Amino acid sequence: MKAHTRVEIWRATVALTLIGLAASATMIVLPLYVVHGMHGTRIDVSIMLGLGAFLEIPMMLTLGARGSRLDKQRWLAAYAAVHMVYFVAVAAARNVEFLIPMQAFNAFVVAVTSCLGMTYMQDLMPRSPGSATALFFNASRVGSILSGVLVAALDYRGTFLVCGALTLGALVLFAYPTFRHVTLRAWTWAQAAFAARAAHAAVGSLRVTAVRLLYWTVGHTACLTNRRFARIPTHQAKRWLFRQRNRTWKETNMAGVGSEKVFENDKVIVRNFVLAPGEETPVHTHEHSYMWYAIEGVPLHIFDKDGADLDIFEVPTGAVYSLKCADGYLEVLSELGKGARVPATHKARNEGSKTYLEVLVEYKEPAQ
């Protein structure tokens, strides 16, 4: 078992300290809150604490039996989340009867801490189990010391709310690797959504100009190479083509190649190609050699002009294909799919679950 980094060890230590602080503050404040804050009785306090201890037993036995097979970090993150919910619920409670069943949450927290907390620290420090054990217990002790300061400074509900904030901090620390990835992914999607919204609000002529400039770059790159297709910025193409997904072949009135012609000069024709899931192109004929870049790949089912099945062509996202048109057939020249031949007159159907997006460049001059 590998030793973990010092940062991981200290992150776990701080998280356990925060949990210990919140748990110790609860043990001090809860009986006082029940008796003085909610005008309960000593019997109410006894029932609550007794119920919690009773529920801890089966939970501890279950976790102890399965402890070696559990992902301890995720369980500790889960127990921090449960503890946070517990504190918010206790702070919002208006009667003792509501607090009694909430002790099941507290029992879960105690069971997870007791069964998995120390072993998690030992997993982080496999070469120093004694130091790991001492670090675990000292984290709890430090939390107990600081809890006295917290209780003295706040009222009952304020104490529970602060404890909820502390357990939220512990949750972030325990879930940091996953939390970091989720946060980065959410930020990326938020940026994409903001960009799409801004593009939608922009003046239409500016959008068209930007898109035509993008395809102009693609077309002239193809003219310079005539064989290889430089990768265009996928995120730029997707940002605009995302808005074309609901445009069908019938709506664009294109019975030829592609969904829409966006650029043409004396050497090339550049088209976009959008095909919704299950949608089928009309029968069309390719008169030029061409190449295409798959912005969003899907399986394409190819048929000849009479509807005969020619096979399913798997098009991966980001793939670049080059095809030569000669003698009524298209032959794949690129390494991906090299040698495959289909009639130049055919139709295609999207067999995937996503909208197919493609940029297609036709050569007016014979491909080299």
31: Cβ contacts below 8 Å, ≥ 6 apart = 45, 49
Q: Which two tokens stand for residue 227?
A: 């064989």
User: What is the residue-level pLDDT of the chain in tens, covering all 368 positions?
Assistant: 444 577 778 888 888 888 888 888 888 888 888 888 888 888 888 887 788 888 878 888 887 777 677 777 788 888 788 888 888 888 888 888 887 888 888 888 888 877 777 777 878 787 787 888 887 788 878 877 887 777 778 888 888 888 888 888 888 888 765 555 555 555 655 655 555 455 444 434 444 444 444 444 444 444 444 443 444 444 544 454 444 444 444 444 444 577 778 888 888 888 888 888 999 888 889 888 998 888 888 999 999 989 898 888 889 888 888 899 988 899 999 887 888 899 999 999 999 988 888 888 888 876 44
User: pTM score, two decimals?
Assistant: 0.44
* pLDDT of res. 141: 80
The dihedral built from the CA positions of residue 151, 156, 161 and 167, taken in this order, carries a sign that is: positive
3 state SS of 129 = helix
Q: What string of DSSP letters covers 15-78?
A: HHHHHHHHHHHHHHHHHHIIIIIS---HHHHHHHHHHHHHHHHHHHHHHHHHGGGS-HHHHHHH
The ranges assigned to domains in the chain are 6-183, 206-363
* Residue in this structure with the two tokens 């460049």, named with its chain if needed: 361
The whole-angstrom separation of Cα 68 and Cα 64 is 8
CA torsion angle for 217, 218, 223, 224 (degrees, to 10)? 70
For CA atoms 183, 10, 170, 166, the dihedral sign is negative
Q: Give CA–CA dist 52/43, Å, rounded.
A: 14
What Cα–Cα distance (Å) separates residue 243 from each residue in 120, 204, 227, 233, 239?
A: 49, 12, 30, 17, 7
Asked whether the beta carbons of 354 and 296 are under 8 A apart, the reply is: yes
Helix (H) or strand (E) holding 108: helix 96-112
The greatest distance separating any two alpha carbons of the chain, rounded to the nearest whole angstrom, comes to 96
* Model pLDDT, residue 224: 42
- Residue 304 CB neighbour total at 10 angstroms: 14
CA–CA dist 192, 198 (Å, integer): 10
Bridge partners (DSSP) listed for residue 356:
275
Cβ atoms 283, 358 nearer than 8 A: no
Given the candidates 3.20.20.60, 3.20.20.70, 3.90.76.10, 2.60.120.10, the CATH classification of the domain at 206-363 is 2.60.120.10
Q: Which two tokens stand for residue 115?
A: 């069964």
DSSP 196-250: HHHHHHS-HHHHHHHHHHHHHHHHHHHHHHSS--PPP-HHHHHHHHGGGTT--HH
User: Would you state the pLDDT for residue 204?
Assistant: 42
Instruction: Please report, to the nearest 10 degrees, the dihedral formed by the alpha carbons of residues 196, 220, 232, 345 taken in order.
Output: 90
CA atoms of 307 and 158, how far apart (whole Å): 73
Q: Into which CATH architecture does domain 6-183 fall? A: Up-down Bundle (1.20)
The residue among 109, 115, 111, 103 whose CA lies nearest residue 49 is 103
